[in-house]
Structure 1
């Protein structure tokens, strides 16, 4: 048996070992901590401990021994407990064996041995355990050759994959997520079992599904995970808006690109420049409006007119269906999808400053995010076109910089407020106040007047006169 005492040199493991000894139970650290130590992946913040006995009692005993007596959170329904110590979350569970019903991923649980507990783990690389017992402290217990699977970079289930995935279908998404995060390959039989059990995903809550999707999106190369979701037919069940983009149609020798695979390239591109989850979601969904708006015209070929507007509306429906947040995060994704084609329209030398001002005004603080998305959208393999498109966006950035330095329209606040308009013309809140306020904004965006108080005040008086209003306060 291999020994990894060096993995357990943190004080917390000695405390857990001592607490287990006082309770006369065996204890082991298992799962992600062991896996990530062997892969040399960063500093662990989550530790899972298995007690061959009561995990809850072990957690309480550990808290007693620790000087700062951390609060123990008990989850009786699951037979688990958790405490925070040394900037880490440590979860304790009693060793158990599980059986499942057809209509639920919540298992029927019985007390069991360490072997029973390792049998119920999702993957061999997560069934690795290190002993915290005095007589063999640091010894690796690896009943399923998880260490070899780590070295071979393989995702494999400890038991029959068909049973593993049918029992708890969330494991299908976890397999794909680990493949994306670790750059591992899902073993052939396991991949086949995911495809055959795909419909079982319907019993999983949408919140759990989204949690895994987010982790895939936040991986270094998200296309790995989404390609596997597509290959196993899970993606069509979860995000049919995406799979609807797949395929290339040809009429009269005219073809369009495959917008599904293009989208995955865009997500990979943007992931090289941002860790912002919601900007990555925007990249994933930026073209979903193309499937319902695709048309062929003899004179101009394939078109996707209005796909940004349609796509933005689809974002709301998709977020609602998956029970994702319908707050500012959703609105941000909508905004990015809606504006995704705007910047390239101002490359032309004949573009007016007013068009640039409107882009900056509409994008506000998100102008940099929008430009990052647009640059990620360049997926051509032609080096000449690639350089040309990137140079075009450099031109756009320069125009934005020049207009913003001169006109200050980002997060635009009118130089004349609604309150001042009401005071000037002795008005209560009414339609005319809105008309004058909008007119001032439009005049500034169109370049008719500078974004300055005196010019806006004079313009207010002129617009008021046109509406038949007399100023009572000059």
Structure 2
């Protein structure tokens, strides 16, 4: 941690000098506040955005700063919120006038009044985000720390500046932000604040799905998302946001047969996949891959516990979750659905003799996503039995090699049958009919089963034989 009492030397970016000059010319006080200061003290790579608070008009200050910069960047003004933003080099800088806020119970949108720097720090979510550095000539770089944010950083603690019940009830999104910061920074949430999140969990219902998803994505993109999801679970937030996930937190025993706790297994799978992908949608697939297990769980004496069809149902449930949380209903959703539906396919393959036919079908169905699917399935191996663990991974290596061999030889990834429907119609003088689909499907199946190679002449000869059986050719 940076231990300087004066941070003047750390504010070496030209933009801070320009803001200081603009502040002086306008005769208003300005400060850099929030995440930039926090990350500066923690020696972290800070985000490409900086928050500036002005004791006066933030919009006026932004316009003045733009005027003083050589290229005079465009200023985006948001009059409704009293904020303005400009881009300097590769950094977004947001300006806001210092303000104090009051809230109505039904909304997280505050009633805003002009205020002092202290008022603005009072409204911040956590003490580590209330730290401010002066950009004023007389005390440039001096730290303002009214809530012992430095101590909280030193002790790795997340706590609210004021009464946590007020902080979280006023803006319930702060509960998710607190858990996300704890996960990202490796901090602990102070006990009173943690209890307050539990007490106020139901308030999260007034927050839009988009804002919730933004925080969930940031948790999923940490090195170990299980930390954040366990906090969401412990505080009751997860049961409100993703009840399909908390439904997996159960273990039953009948006649000596038990099944694993699929909730904790899921979190382990998410952690397992993180070193191998930064794709948030593949991490979402890991999070949702077993959600169909709770509603499909059955017991019978012969097989014990079963979850037949959980992948197919899980794909449907994933779509409903995306709709409910206002996640993107596009290719990203389809990708997650596809991963969930296919999540057991390579695992089944790895337990049996790996045939070319089965691998061809896997590659055909997964298409360009086959590598992602293999990554997900390898993360899904959570057995604590070292022999089983080694066996599964060795078998997955065999599957991976088979995929390469089959793809090089048969080129079935996203393949189209060598003979088109139009050619079949012309050859047999057919109008659009089910016979065309039957022939195309038969050719595809023959290639996937290895009966014929994925080549035009072989497919043509096979089609003629099939056409005879269908009565399309008289012999």
TM over 0.5: yes
How far apart, in 1, do the equivalents of 2:343 and 2:468 lie? 40
**Conserved in 2, the CA contact under 8 Å of 1:97 and 1:116?**
yes
2:367 aligned partner: 364
Aligned residue for 1:324? 327
2:130 to 116, 119, 127: 127
> Does residue 69 in structure 1 map to residue 34 in structure 2?
no
Q: Does 1:136 align with 2:149?
A: no
- For 1:24-53, what per-residue CA distance to the aligned partner results, in whole angstroms no more than 9, with x for missing partners? 000000001101111111154100000000
Counterpart CA distance in 1 for 2:410 and 2:180 is 46
State the secondary structure of the residue aligned to 1:78.
coil
How many residues are treated as equivalent by the alignment? 471
Q: Specify the alignment match of 1:234 in structure 2.
A: 237
* Equivalence for 1:451: 454
Q: Which runs of 5+ in 1 are unaligned?
A: none
Q: Following the alignment from structure 2 to structure 1, what is the Cα–Cα distance between the partners of residues 9 and 232?
A: 38
Aligned to 2:43: 40
Match of 1:245 in 2: 248
2:281 counterpart of 1:278:
yes
Matched, 1:393 2:396: yes
Match of residue 440, structure 2, among 437, 441, 448 = 437
Aligned-partner SS, 2:264:
helix
Matches within 5 A, 1:48-59: 48-59=51-62
Matching residue of 1:31: 34
- Alignment of 1:294 onto 2:297: yes
Segment drifting more, 129-138 vs 36-45: 36-45
Q: CA RMSD in A?
A: 1.4
Structure 2 partner of 1:413: 416
1:10-34, Cα deviation, whole Å (9 max, x unpaired): 1011111111111100000000110
For the residue of structure 1 that corresponds to 2:80, the secondary structure is helix
Q: Is it true that 1:268 corresponds to 2:271 in the alignment?
A: yes
Greater displacement, 406-415 / 340-349: 340-349
Q: Secondary structure at the match of 1:91?
A: strand
Give the secondary-structure state (helix, strand or coil) at the position aligned to 1:77: coil
In structure 2, the residue matched to 1:195 is: 198
1:310-349 equivalent positions in 2, closer than 5 A: 310-347=313-350
SS in 1 for 2:276: coil
How far does residue 196 in structure 1 lie from its aligned partner after superposition?
0.3
Deviation per CA, 1:153-208, whole angstroms, max 9, x where unpaired? 10010000010000000000000010111111000000000000001111111111
- Cα 1:349–1:190 change in 2 (3 A) is closer
Q: Secondary structure at the match of 1:101?
A: coil
The verdict on how the C-alpha distance between 1:335 and 1:44 changes in structure 2, with shifts beyond 3 A counting, is closer
* Greater CA drift, 385-394 or 429-438: 429-438
Quote the residue 1:207 is aligned against: 210
Change (3 A) 1:363 1:39: same
Q: What do residues 305-351 of structure 1 show as CA deviations (whole Å, max 9, x unaligned)?
A: 11111111111111111111111111111111111111122235644
SS in 2 for 1:51: strand
TM-aligned CA deviation for residue 457 of structure 1: 1.7
- Structure 1 residue 378: Cα displacement: 1.0
Gaps of 5+ in 2: none
- For 2:162 and 2:292, the matched residues in 1 are separated by 42
CA contact (8 A) 2:351 2:392 kept: no
Query: In structure 2, how many angstroms separate the alpha carbons of the residues matched to 1:43 and 1:231?
Result: 29
Inter-partner Cα distance in structure 1 for 2:83 and 2:353: 66
Conserved in 2, the CA contact under 8 Å of 1:421 and 1:460? no
Q: Distance in 1 between matches of 2:143 and 2:351?
A: 65
Contact 2:100 2:113 survives alignment (8 Å): yes
